[in-house]
């Protein structure tokens, strides 16, 4: 019976790909022979999902980059619609990526396909947009923030807060001693973790600034050590170009992001999901963002129209300034160093931020979010005890 059940998943960016892959694996523990196809990246592929499109390159920063991708995304959406019409699934599972997924949800719901939305777009906001289509075009919404579920229910949606799935997977794999030993770091020396992001524009803009900030900090603290955690999408040549000729020793690692976050004393972190991961691990950070002049103009327009005081997830969730945000022209090496000196171990700033990050973590619920989401997905399918349709 399980083999007759088909789910289609659509995840457009790296964080959605990972969350959706974990959800698929949790569902498969109950329905081992279920068929799953859709759109996603390497994590969904490794979870056994038949990919119609690889969305690994779909992550865009801002409207300018998104517009360049619009024709390809439109074609992909049309192809997905054709296949959904030809082979209607038992459930369409959509993860974030609102510009692509919300129109797809409306189309699918209009043709009688059940829609399960995991991570509704902008769920960290404490308000709903004036026009919100999700209640009318979904059968179930699962959100990682309690206020998001409450707002959506008030708007008429079948919405559930399950906790944040990052709580289940954000853990270091090494102890501090093992981490330092593997990289040849001194346990007594200052450790700065660098996370320049996963998108090419982010990395291209931030790496030179991080390099210069590291050189300036090393002049003030000769024992400072720097570890650069690279996302899988970042090419090695970008790093070699940005750090060529520097006198500072940089340790470059891959597949060790959570270890870098957990065992650094301070993080220089590109705005995005990584800031929330660092908050869960309790490591103080400075949030950075730099882009082109066109992206800068767009950022200020959107920030004003959306009435955003902050862009970093820890600050947005706490609704106050916890982590310094250095954006665009403010993200200079000198400013990074000045804020770093106020956040080093032993300072009042370090202690206060660690306490505030614990408060942020407490707002994310309890571990087990993915399993709870999988249970709700099975309910949406009409399957009881993981094997029998109601």
92 by DSSP, 3-state: which?
A: strand
Q: What is the pLDDT of residue 195?
A: 96
Indicate if the pLDDT at residue 295 is higher than 80: no
Residues 87 and 222 in one domain: no
pLDDT for 25-68, tens place per residue?
A: 999 999 999 999 999 999 999 999 999 998 877 765 455 565 66
Q: What is the pLDDT of residue 389?
A: 47
Residues 144 and 281 in one domain: no
Residues 138 and 212 in one domain: no
Higher pLDDT, 106 or 3: 106
pLDDT band at 292 (very low <50, low <70, confident <90, very high): low
Average pLDDT, rounded, for the chain: 90
Residues 285 and 257 in one domain: yes
Residues 295 and 310 in one domain: yes
CATH of the domain at 380: 3.40.50.2000
Residues 12 and 154 in one domain: yes
Residues 10 and 81 in one domain: yes
Indicate if the pLDDT at residue 390 is higher than 50: no
**Boundaries of domain holding 27:** 2-165+368-389
Residue 385: both structure tokens together = 């005890």
> Phi and psi of 319, rounded to 5°?
60, 30
Mean per-residue pLDDT, 148-168 = 97
Tell me how far apart the alpha carbons of residues 350 and 336 are, in angstroms, rounded to a whole number.
15
Residues 337 and 257 in one domain: yes
Indicate if the pLDDT at residue 244 is higher than 90: no
> Phi and psi of 118, rounded to 5°?
-105, 125
Residues in the chain: 390
Higher pLDDT, 195 or 241: 195
Residues 36 and 96 in one domain: yes
Domain total for the chain?
A: 2
Residues 75 and 139 in one domain: yes
Give residue 126's Cα distance to chain centre.
Answer: 18
Residues 18 and 91 in one domain: yes
User: Would the pTM count as exceeding 0.85?
Assistant: yes
pLDDT for 190-217, tens place per residue?
A: 999 999 988 777 888 899 999 999 999 9
pLDDT band at 386 (very low <50, low <70, confident <90, very high): very low
Mean per-residue pLDDT, 109-132 = 92
Indicate if the pLDDT at residue 22 is higher than 80: yes
Residue 170 resides in a domain: no
Residues 181 and 129 in one domain: no
**Residue % of the chain over a pLDDT of 90:** 73
């Amino acid at each position: 019976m399980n083999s007759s059940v088909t789910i289609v998943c659509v995840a457009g960016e790296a964080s959605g790909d990972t969350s959706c892959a974990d959800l698929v694996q949790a569902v498969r523990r109950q329905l081992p022979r279920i068929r799953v196809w859709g759109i996603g990246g390497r994590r969904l592929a490794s979870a056994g999902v038949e990919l119609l499109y690889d969305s690994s390159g779909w992550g865009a920063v801002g409207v300018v980059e998104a517009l360049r991708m619009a024709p390809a995304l439109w074609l992909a959406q049309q192809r997905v619609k054709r296949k959904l019409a030809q082979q209607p699934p038992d459930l369409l599972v959509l993860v974030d990526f609102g510009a692509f997924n919300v129109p797809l949800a409306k189309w699918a719901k209009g043709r009688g396909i059940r829609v399960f939305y995991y991570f509704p777009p902008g769920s960290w906001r404490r308000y709903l947009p004036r026009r919100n289509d999700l209640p009318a075009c979904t059968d179930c919404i699962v959100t990682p923030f309690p206020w998001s579920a409450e707002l959506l229910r008030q708007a008429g949606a079948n919405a559930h807060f399950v906790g944040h799935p990052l709580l289940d997977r954000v853990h270091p794999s090494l102890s501090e001693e093992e981490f330092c030993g593997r990289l040849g770091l001194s346990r007594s020396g200052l450790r700065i973790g660098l996370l320049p992001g996963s998108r090419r524009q982010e990395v291209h803009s931030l790496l030179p600034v991080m390099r210069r900030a590291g050189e300036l900090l090393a002049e003030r603290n000769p024992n400072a050590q720097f570890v650069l955690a690279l996302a899988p999408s970042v090419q090695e040549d970008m790093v070699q170009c940005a750090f060529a000729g520097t006198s500072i020793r940089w340790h470059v690692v891959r597949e060790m992001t959570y270890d870098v976050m957990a065992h650094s004393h301070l993080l220089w972190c590109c705005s995005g999901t990584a800031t929330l991961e660092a908050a869960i691990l309790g490591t103080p950070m400075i949030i950075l963002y730099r882009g082109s002049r066109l992206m800068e103009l767009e950022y200020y327009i959107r920030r004003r129209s959306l009435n955003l005081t902050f862009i970093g997830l820890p600050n947005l969730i706490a609704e106050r300034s916890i982590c310094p945000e250095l954006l665009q022209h403010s993200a200079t090496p000198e400013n990074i160093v000045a804020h770093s000196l106020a956040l080093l171990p032993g300072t009042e700033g370090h202690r206060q931020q660690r306490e505030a990050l614990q408060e942020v973590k407490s707002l994310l619920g309890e571990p087990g979010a993915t399993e709870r989401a999988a249970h709700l997905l099975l309910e949406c399918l009409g399957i009881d005890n993981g094997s029998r349709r109601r």
